[in-house]
A and B are shown apart, each in its own frame.
Chain A
Amino acid sequence: GQQVMQIPQYQHVQEGEDFTTYCNSSTTLSNIQWYKQRPGGHPVFLIQLVKSGEVKKQKRLTFQFGEAKKNSSLHITATQTTDVGTYFCAGGKSGNTPLVFGKGTRLSVIA
């Protein structure tokens, strides 16, 4: 079945450093979504990418979807303590097929 691998599993950074998490799918995706889960909270949708090679930005966050639509990345510039949490990617296929989530990257930011 479809698998979505996400690395790294954990990342500890000093405040102000950059952070990147990577997501790779075993199959071609129709879209990729990213979610953020704060400690003790629930996953919250950040963004969806649907086009090959697409790049989207949200303030300090940059999201990319690979040309082959099998990989994606989330890059945070100059991390802040408010960025702490676990970031999940989720791969989608067309139709009513459920999203497949990666295992997430837990980000810790040291002030």
Chain B
Amino acid sequence: NAGVTQTPKFQVLKTGQSMTLQCAQDMNHEYMSWYRQDPGMGLRLIHYSVGAGITDQGEVPNGYNVSRSTTEDFPLRLLSAAPSQTSVYFCACGRASGVPGELFFGEGSRLTVL
């Protein structure tokens, strides 16, 4: 039982390049989300999904796209990377019914944009 798996763990991009951060969970949780973590800024929500086929924007969605074709996967796409997107990205999942429950986080993906 792997929980939440993020790939890659580390990535270096040049400005303007595109890439996808992968997130997969084997907990059968409906809710999945992406956060970015920057020094002194805490965890800021980028996008989230309450089930397959449903996505919504969080606090800082600009420059990022997501899709949710299956319960298990929730990839985060950067179409044209910018240095301001240098950050640590965390994927998290949880149950989506009623009161928001415990979130399970992946180990993170550290992205550097040059």
Contact = CB atoms under 8 A, between A and B. Distances in A.
B90 to A, nearest CB: 6
B104 A45 contact: yes
Given A9-B40, A103-B41, A98 B33 contact: yes
B43 A30 contact: no
Interface in A41-55: 41-45, 48, 50
B66 interface: no
Given A98-B48, A101-B42, A104-B42, A44 B99 contact: no
A96 B43 contact: no
Contacts of B98: 94-95
B99 A43 contact: no
Given A42-B108, A93-B100, A97-B100, A88 B42 contact: yes
A79 interface: no
Interface in B53-99: 58, 90, 92, 96, 98-99
Contacts of B107: 41-42
Interface in A64-111: 88, 90, 92-104
Interface of A: 6, 9, 30-31, 33, 35, 41-45, 48, 50, 88, 90, 92-104
Interface of B: 31, 33, 35, 40-45, 48, 50, 58, 90, 92, 96, 98-108
